């Protein structure tokens, strides 16, 4: 089969998906969850092949972590599918409606996009997330998961298609173009006749390439140069675990902390304590001149560090004179993903919430909460850093568009 035939099959399947009832879609999701649970050993064998190849190719530890699936992660994927199953179906929801003076009934309702394309890399969990969110929102999906997790993705796609067939839905509603290599990605970016929206997930370079080269409309997900600002009024006993959770719980993901800004009034109290915890967790610190004096084992930060998404156990730290300097720094270097302030000053908290132009802005919370699952979406398509249609973690409703339904009784326009 060539790429165009694959895309045509996905397009043809999208009508059946759009018309599928909630109960049929939920049945498909339950069968997919069971397929994942029953297929654990098969998934692990494919994943081990990908990890072996990754190690042989010198892939970074953070990327290996993204590729890796163990039994716990696979069962978590199955559970996420069941969470999506329980969520309200957005298709057909009325956004607004009115009766005009001429008697026409006008209603705006949610409808599926049709065919969603997704280009991503080294993230086999995305295969399940995108597929199941697409199914519940009545869409078909064409996936390009890249070579780094190709064996894992092939097995996951097969299990998903098996679940669809057992529920009486077309297997081709979820398909992959991985077998076509880079050509598959290029064709997907040009497939306006078959694909309604394209979502890239991955490195900054991948996202920039898709945005620049795609003729299919793109929902831009962004890299995460994520900040925390520790205000002078912050509860430092609370601040330490928030900072450590944001940085070390899973450093390879886009909502992990990359730059810490510390008010100069609390730097001498906070940074030596923080340095001990960071060293215990093997975190390399890139420090400004002021913070380096308080963190002896740090290395001097460069201008490049402030704009770097490390995806690893590395952290940039800068001491600032106050909230305004922190806001200026974030405005210059943030990728508009997630930024958080730790403060007990309500005025500073509200100023931070109002002035930071990011998809998610937080007060006194770990940046790791920027996640579709944590927000109650079951899973996420990605975290949008653009401002059109969707912003922040994208769940079911973000995979729908709207259309207007007009019901009349013979009215004509004067």
Give the pLDDT mean for 233-239: 96
Average pLDDT, the chain: 94
Question: What whole-number distance in Å separates Cα of residue 143 and Cα of residue 116?
Answer: 8
Residues of the chain with pLDDT > 70, as a percent, come to: 100
Higher confidence at residue 28 or residue 65?
Answer: 28
In this structure, the answer to whether residues 171 and 281 fall within a common structural domain is no
Is residue 272 situated within a structural domain?
A: yes
Is residue 19 situated within a structural domain?
A: yes
Q: What's the total number of domains in the chain?
A: 2
Q: What is the DSSP letter of 149?
A: T
Least confident among 21-25, 311-315, 326-330: 311-315
Three-state SS sequence of 341-402: EECCCHHHHHHHHHHCCCCEEEECCCHHHCCCCCCCCCCCCCEECCCCCCCEECCCHHHEEE
Residue 90: band (very low, low, confident or very high) from pLDDT cuts 50, 70, 90: very high
Is residue 380 situated within a structural domain?
A: no
In this structure, the answer to whether residues 237 and 362 fall within a common structural domain is yes
Residue 405: band (very low, low, confident or very high) from pLDDT cuts 50, 70, 90: very high
pLDDT at 373: 81
In this structure, the answer to whether residues 59 and 188 fall within a common structural domain is yes
In this structure, the answer to whether residues 319 and 266 fall within a common structural domain is yes
Residue 387: band (very low, low, confident or very high) from pLDDT cuts 50, 70, 90: confident
Give the pLDDT mean for 394-413: 94
Q: What CATH number should be reported for the domain holding residue 189?
A: 3.40.605.10
Note whether 367 and 246 are within 8 A (CB). yes
In this structure, the answer to whether residues 212 and 233 fall within a common structural domain is no
Is residue 379 situated within a structural domain?
A: no
In this structure, the answer to whether residues 41 and 163 fall within a common structural domain is yes
Residue 379: band (very low, low, confident or very high) from pLDDT cuts 50, 70, 90: confident
In three-state secondary structure terms, 181 is: helix
pLDDT at 41: 97
Domain of residue 137: give its range: 3-219+394-407
pLDDT at 238: 96
pLDDT at 343: 98
pLDDT at 202: 79
Least confident among 119-123, 204-208, 238-242, 363-367: 204-208
Sign of CA dihedral 141, 78, 255, 309: negative
In this structure, the answer to whether residues 230 and 347 fall within a common structural domain is yes
Give the pLDDT mean for 37-44: 98
pTM of the model: 0.83
pLDDT at 217: 93
**Largest distance between two CA atoms of the chain:** 81
Say whether pLDDT at 378 is over 80.
Answer: no
pLDDT at 351: 98
Is residue 161 situated within a structural domain?
A: yes
Q: What CATH number should be reported for the domain holding residue 258?
A: 3.40.309.10
Q: Give the model confidence (pLDDT) of 41-67 as tens digits.
A: 999 999 999 999 999 999 888 789 889
Give the pLDDT mean for 108-128: 95
Residue 381: band (very low, low, confident or very high) from pLDDT cuts 50, 70, 90: confident
In this structure, the answer to whether residues 284 and 403 fall within a common structural domain is no
pLDDT at 223: 79
In this structure, the answer to whether residues 399 and 293 fall within a common structural domain is no
pLDDT at 201: 86
In this structure, the answer to whether residues 235 and 173 fall within a common structural domain is no
In this structure, the answer to whether residues 336 and 195 fall within a common structural domain is no
pLDDT at 221: 82
In three-state secondary structure terms, 259 is: strand
pLDDT at 84: 94
Q: Give the model confidence (pLDDT) of 279-308 as tens digits.
A: 999 999 999 999 999 998 999 999 999 999
Say whether pLDDT at 215 is over 80.
Answer: yes
Question: What whole-number distance in Å separates Cα of residue 291 and Cα of residue 262?
Answer: 9
């Amino acid at each position: 089969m060539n790429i165009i035939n694959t895309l045509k099959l996905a397009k043809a399947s999208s009508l059946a998906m759009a018309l599928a009832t909630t109960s049929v879609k939920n049945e498909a999701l339950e069968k997919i969850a069971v397929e994942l649970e029953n297929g654990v050993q098969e998934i692990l064998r494919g994943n081990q092949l990908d990890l072996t190849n990754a190690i042989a190719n010198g892939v970074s530890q953070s990327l290996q972590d993204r590729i890796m699936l163990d039994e716990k992660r696979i069962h978590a994927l199955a559970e996420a599918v069941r969470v999506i199953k329980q969520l309200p179906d957005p298709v057909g929801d009325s956004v607004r409606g009115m009766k005009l003076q001429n008697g026409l009934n006008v209603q705006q309702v949610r409808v599926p996009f049709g065919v969603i394309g997704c280009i991503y890399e080294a993230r086999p969990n995305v295969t399940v997330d995108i597929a199941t969110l697409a199914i519940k929102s009545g869409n078909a999906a064409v996936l390009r998961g890249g070579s780094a997790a190709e064996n894992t993705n092939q097995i996951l796609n097969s299990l998903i298609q098996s679940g669809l067939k057992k529920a009486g839905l077309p297997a081709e509603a979820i398909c992959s173009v991985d077998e076509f290599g880079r050509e598959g990605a290029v064709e997907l970016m040009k497939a306006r006749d078959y694909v309604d929206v394209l979502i890239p997930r991955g490195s900054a370079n991948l996202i920039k390439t898709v945005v620049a080269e795609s003729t299919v409309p793109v929902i831009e997900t962004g890299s995460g140069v994520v900040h925390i600002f520790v205000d002078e009024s912050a509860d430092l006993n609370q601040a330490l675990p928030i900072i450590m959770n944001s940085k070390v719980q899973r450093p390879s993901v886009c909502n992990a902390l990359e730059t810490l800004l510390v008010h100069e009034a609390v730097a001498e109290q906070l940074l030596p304590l923080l340095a001990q915890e960071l060293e215990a967790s093997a975190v390399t610190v890139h420090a400004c001149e002021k913070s380096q004096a308080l963190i002896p084992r740090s290395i001097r930060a460069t201008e490049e560090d402030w704009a770097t998404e490390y995806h690893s156990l590395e952290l940039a730290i800068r001491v600032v004179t106050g909230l305004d300097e922190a806001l200026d720094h974030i405005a210059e270097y943030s990728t508009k993903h997630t930024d958080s302030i730790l403060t007990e000053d309500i005025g500073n908290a509200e100023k931070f919430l109002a002035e930071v132009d990011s998809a998610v802005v937080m007060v006194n919370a770990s940046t790791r909460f920027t996640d579709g699952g944590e927000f109650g979406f079951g899973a996420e398509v990605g975290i949008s850093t653009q401002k059109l249609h969707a912003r922040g973690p994208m769940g079911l409703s973000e995979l729908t568009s709207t259309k207007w339904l007009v019901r009349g009784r013979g009215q004509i326009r004067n």
